[in-house]
Structure 1
């Protein structure tokens, strides 16, 4: 077991300004809490949290993450509590430890419905603080390294879960080294015979050809030296699982598999990356179709590199990756680079992706999914997909996942283009709609008026956006069936309170919900867009049991003294359900800001002005105005439909201004009165789902400070 001083030395190596006293205190506290506990291997249990912390020091992470690693099992497995951890180490660390504990309890390999719900919780935890999943991944990696001490059936279950969920998640976060090791450790458990076979063939190949990696590395270094380029060259054989996957994908045996060696060339600047590429291609013949430029077209997780495959020494195919040192750092640790430290300060790597924005984009896409199957489909596409870059006839780049078709391309451009698609041309040649697109291809979509999506398209497309749009169109065609189903649901709901569902009653409901007529109410009821309880409560709110009274607007915030007044900050406009903090202002009382408001960074040196607040739980009145910037198509009826969509969510438009008018688009600034974060979320979802809404963003006017 690593001693505390050895751990502190590892942290000091990259962060001399680290709070080593607090880390040492966490080490002692964790050791005391786990005293008398042992792992199945017989080692003291606390050796595990220490190893997790060491893994995170290798990624140069901040003090809070290291301390969380040391304490990540205390709340779950010892007498320690959230309150005690918060008192000793602060609320931030207590929140992180609690987040890891909740992730540990999620059963991600359970039934579809349960798995979907737990995935939602996983991504919610990531959206609160990405460091939670970084600790969890390190925890899983150490458990996989020591998996042999578990029972065989437990090994299989953990290995399958790791292969299906944690390894792809690590890869999606840009932590490729961790993904490869997790996959290989799982492969060792799930298919030991296949792994051993590959290892034996590797040994045989090395005996026959000698140290190929050293030879090719020397060849590359010589070419770079001749070209006058300074760069480091690293060579390696690919992991057994990576080779096994290639064998399955290409349906080839080991002897026919060529690119089993990989080489990385790390340069000092971006220009040298392309000079290296030129030198490599001059010396060796490039393999057609095996070139990817992720520098000019980075992956969404921040990954940048040039990939090329060449026929190297003795005709062997060799994969070469070319990148700068900063790109290499992001490629090694992915989004963890956002928290990395160097010489006591956060390492401001320009290529590191902001985790908050990345996870927010994930959650928005996942929230748009309807049922469990659709949600899991979104998750798996997002976690497992590789990207393809295709071009429109105008030269615009469209990013798509592996396996995407011209139909996906059409829907990626616009829903109307997808719905009206009747054919496609790839590189000028007419192709079937089920054709799988490749990198660099130019795609032209042929449309026809009156064309509607077909049910068979669901089996052709690969993207969640295309599938959702096709399903939405098919639902519209199923309107008659939904009206009949809605009529039955409405009849049962009204009879439950001793009333009758009549056309006149439903017309009144339609008017209240800003819908066209009674049939529209029934259609939406049948398609589960609204529920029967909401329909009945429009006419008979007093007969609906459990109806909540609205909270008095003067007492919506908890944490203020009786003599303190408050108002919402105009810069960030927080609503109930969002995390908030109060700031005292002379003559204004307390102003409530959202916890993510940029204005707060200017007040970090004035902690005496900060007030810990939270919203009162319960039903709030729809009085909280939030500004949205919306770009919509300049077509007849679009603005009216957008206003109707907002009204359908029982939200009121209190102000509307045209910010910009173009021949094809309008940009609007709309103030919407809402109840809470859930109400805001619902309004945002229905607007984003509309095909004529080009963009939607919450408007934050930072000039309107208190």
Structure 2
């Protein structure tokens, strides 16, 4: 008998109570035909999982049914419920994907497939597993949000039944829940689910701490039950007097949120005073503000503790008015005021009023904001090859301690706390970030590294010539900015490396009476294929980065030229390669001798680092010349740009104000001081080592002349000599 017929002929008495309860819940909001499809999914799932049991001894099918019930409580659509019932069938049973498509359609099969893929990969290390599974989960979300809703519900039921697991496994799952799943639920606005995941994770990971804090909360509530009832009654009476239709709900903070507050703020339980609060739910936005005024007239508000998340919603769509009042019994009272719709979004986030693939909707809808975030994730994933880099970048975004900022046009952007003006620039647009030079915060000119605070208006000043530099990675905190800067620097390095590698290979071929153009295409293609290189640019970049020696490559290419037209006999190499200093993607300047434009220099090919530039008289050059194949003839071009580090050893009189005098002389010569330290000091004299930035040898001479002219300096020398 086929499964379709089986579904039709199965008696109610054959269906377990948990499935009947699920169907009753679904019939409250789904058409009867869809509830029948869910029954069919149960029958197929039960047959597929027949004989399988959970650690607790129950039939395995009870788990998918419980997951489906969690989603039904969120009023999710039939496709999600069916996929939840079948979510383990592809991985753990012989049920074919084609069967799911045949019975329930391609969308359900894709949802089941998406959930299965999150668990299917095996890894070489726990760290790699965490990074890659996290990445896969977020990409599954980007394809269809419902995949992650099923996964979160699956995790919630596993946490509810965690007692059957062994100790180490239980702690690992609990930690993963607190670090990854709960923050994702929060980012998607699903506060009710997040709160239960956090509480169950906290209880499993720190059972003693959970027990102690729970007992203290119970005791605190017991002591304050009467005062809470009086505040509740006072609020209701006041709202009624103002003719504001509203329901007042008292709420108690969870053990995990109190533990987090105690740990982060270094407070004892007795210092965390707002253990309980109230929620006022009314029927319109205007009534929310009316209720706020009425409540502030009843109890005095605590200054600086009012937040308006209705006008400026959180990134996950959460809206509410938050205020803290001085209660009549000495303890502060936290009150949230919101509409019924906001309450639903606050509890269920993206699952509230589920409408699949509705791209429109107001900008503050949880689903619209979640999709924006996920689209951003998909872009970032494409630009970030490393799983570990990706997970770090996304984890920053998952914890929503945000600042809300205004663009000059009045648009609102939310960024993580401690974000800088440079993060804001990248949040506006990647191109704005790339060309940013400074910012105006509330009309005042500030550097890009300036941290921002909520409510500020930020305008980014750009210049077409400005480009990112590696130091920006230490300034930004958002994943988007970090990924964009890294991508730019990698691209820059590749372009510089290709250009430099071309010049180095040409120089070696020229010394053998050949050029790259004289190498026949088949010889070049054979060489690239033999060395697993996709194109010539990869070979050239490899040469510049020190991964291949240009003389070896030249020898091998010419050895492949069969007609003997090119001589492989090497004469001394021709002109040096000229550098302008802008090739920072492939050039670095040695810290042992700090070469400057105007110095005689030599290049050393360091594997993976590219060309390290040394002064010709650097004490380390003798050692470097022992590997002649790695030494590159380079010299400064006529036009050189940029600032270069150099160290000045300055012998001064040991008296008050001497440091300021020398620093002022350096500044007058238009040089920037990066660092200064005392290397010798006695009663009468001292030796200071300044690290400064200059443009060339002439600029350095000007700095040294000005320093010598001060009355406090006995001698100033470039270091090392």
TM-score by length of 2: 0.62
* Structure 1 contact 213–237 (Cα < 8 Å) conserved: no
Query: Any residues of structure 2 matched to 1:408-423 within 5 Å, and which?
Result: 408-413=423-428
> Would you say 1:319 and 2:331 are equivalent positions?
no
SS in 1 for 2:244: coil
What is the aligned partner in structure 1 of residue 156 from structure 2?
Answer: 141
Q: Which is greater in Rg?
A: 2
Once the two structures are TM-superposed, the CA of residue 217 in structure 1 deviates from its matched residue by: 2.7
> Would you say 1:95 and 2:100 are equivalent positions?
no
**Structure 1 residue aligned with 2:300, among 285, 293, 316?**
285
SS in 2 for 1:314: coil
Once the two structures are TM-superposed, the CA of residue 63 in structure 1 deviates from its matched residue by: 1.6
Once the two structures are TM-superposed, the CA of residue 9 in structure 1 deviates from its matched residue by: 1.0
SS in 1 for 2:317: coil
Query: Any residues of structure 2 matched to 1:463-542 within 5 Å, and which?
Result: 463-471=478-486, 474=489, 482-483=497-498, 503-504=516-517, 522=540
> Would you say 1:167 and 2:160 are equivalent positions?
no
What is the aligned partner in structure 1 of residue 205 from structure 2?
Answer: 190
What is the aligned partner in structure 2 of residue 378 from structure 1?
Answer: 393
Q: Measure, in 1, the Cα distance between the counterparts of 2:543 and 2:297.
A: 66
Deviations, residues 416-467 of structure 1 (Å, cap 9, x unaligned)? 7656767666556787865543321344667799876564442332112332
Q: Measure, in 2, the Cα distance between the counterparts of 1:258 and 1:489.
A: 69
Once the two structures are TM-superposed, the CA of residue 293 in structure 1 deviates from its matched residue by: 2.5
Q: Measure, in 2, the Cα distance between the counterparts of 1:108 and 1:166.
A: 20
Report how many residues are paired. 513
* Structure 2 contact 119–133 (Cα < 8 Å) conserved: no
What is the aligned partner in structure 2 of residue 595 from structure 1?
Answer: none
SS in 2 for 1:315: coil
Once the two structures are TM-superposed, the CA of residue 159 in structure 1 deviates from its matched residue by: 0.9
Deviations, residues 156-178 of structure 1 (Å, cap 9, x unaligned)? 11111111111111111111111
What is the aligned partner in structure 2 of residue 598 from structure 1?
Answer: none
Q: Measure, in 2, the Cα distance between the counterparts of 1:192 and 1:501.
A: 75
SS in 2 for 1:439: coil
- Change in CA separation of 1:172 and 1:526 when aligned onto 2, cut-off 3 Å: farther
Once the two structures are TM-superposed, the CA of residue 389 in structure 1 deviates from its matched residue by: 0.8
What is the aligned partner in structure 2 of residue 274 from structure 1?
Answer: 289
* Structure 2 contact 497–545 (Cα < 8 Å) conserved: yes
Deviations, residues 280-325 of structure 1 (Å, cap 9, x unaligned)? 2333333344333232223343332223333333232333222221
What is the aligned partner in structure 2 of residue 42 from structure 1?
Answer: 57
Once the two structures are TM-superposed, the CA of residue 212 in structure 1 deviates from its matched residue by: 4.9
- Change in CA separation of 1:404 and 1:281 when aligned onto 2, cut-off 3 Å: farther
- Change in CA separation of 1:524 and 1:243 when aligned onto 2, cut-off 3 Å: farther
Q: Measure, in 2, the Cα distance between the counterparts of 1:108 and 1:247.
A: 37
- Change in CA separation of 1:52 and 1:285 when aligned onto 2, cut-off 3 Å: same
Query: Any residues of structure 2 matched to 1:356-375 within 5 Å, and which?
Result: 359-375=374-390
What is the aligned partner in structure 2 of residue 578 from structure 1?
Answer: none
What is the aligned partner in structure 1 of residue 674 from structure 2?
Answer: none
> Would you say 1:104 and 2:104 are equivalent positions?
no
* Structure 1 contact 404–463 (Cα < 8 Å) conserved: yes
Q: Measure, in 1, the Cα distance between the counterparts of 2:379 and 2:216.
A: 46
- Change in CA separation of 1:201 and 1:407 when aligned onto 2, cut-off 3 Å: same
Q: Measure, in 2, the Cα distance between the counterparts of 1:318 and 1:109.
A: 51
Q: Note the aligned Cα RMSD (angstroms).
A: 4.2
What is the aligned partner in structure 1 of residue 254 from structure 2?
Answer: 239
Deviating more after overlay: 250-259 vs 418-427: 418-427
Q: Measure, in 2, the Cα distance between the counterparts of 1:301 and 1:506.
A: 59
Q: Measure, in 1, the Cα distance between the counterparts of 2:223 and 2:117.
A: 51
Q: Measure, in 1, the Cα distance between the counterparts of 2:543 and 2:409.
A: 43
Deviations, residues 662-700 of structure 1 (Å, cap 9, x unaligned)? xxxxxxxxxxxxxxxxxxxxxxxxxxxxxxxxxxxxxxx
SS in 2 for 1:174: coil
Unaligned 5+ segments in structure 2 are: 1-15, 525-535, 547-556, 558-721
**Structure 2 residue aligned with 1:335, among 339, 347, 350?**
350
SS in 1 for 2:455: coil
- Change in CA separation of 1:32 and 1:451 when aligned onto 2, cut-off 3 Å: closer
What is the aligned partner in structure 2 of residue 26 from structure 1?
Answer: 41
- Change in CA separation of 1:366 and 1:225 when aligned onto 2, cut-off 3 Å: farther
What is the aligned partner in structure 2 of residue 70 from structure 1?
Answer: 85
Q: Measure, in 2, the Cα distance between the counterparts of 1:371 and 1:488.
A: 31
Unaligned 5+ segments in structure 1 are: 495-499, 510-517, 529-538, 540-706
What is the aligned partner in structure 2 of residue 250 from structure 1?
Answer: 265
Of structures 1 and 2, the one scoring higher in RCO (CA 8 A, sep 6+) is 1
Once the two structures are TM-superposed, the CA of residue 11 in structure 1 deviates from its matched residue by: 0.7
Once the two structures are TM-superposed, the CA of residue 147 in structure 1 deviates from its matched residue by: 0.2
Once the two structures are TM-superposed, the CA of residue 475 in structure 1 deviates from its matched residue by: 5.2
What is the aligned partner in structure 1 of residue 12 from structure 2?
Answer: none
- Change in CA separation of 1:281 and 1:96 when aligned onto 2, cut-off 3 Å: same
Deviations, residues 609-646 of structure 1 (Å, cap 9, x unaligned)? xxxxxxxxxxxxxxxxxxxxxxxxxxxxxxxxxxxxxx
Q: Measure, in 2, the Cα distance between the counterparts of 1:159 and 1:458.
A: 33
What is the aligned partner in structure 2 of residue 353 from structure 1?
Answer: 367
- Change in CA separation of 1:19 and 1:454 when aligned onto 2, cut-off 3 Å: closer
Deviations, residues 72-106 of structure 1 (Å, cap 9, x unaligned)? 22222223221223333333322222222222335
Once the two structures are TM-superposed, the CA of residue 506 in structure 1 deviates from its matched residue by: 11
TM-score by length of 1: 0.64
- Change in CA separation of 1:39 and 1:284 when aligned onto 2, cut-off 3 Å: same
- Change in CA separation of 1:296 and 1:109 when aligned onto 2, cut-off 3 Å: farther
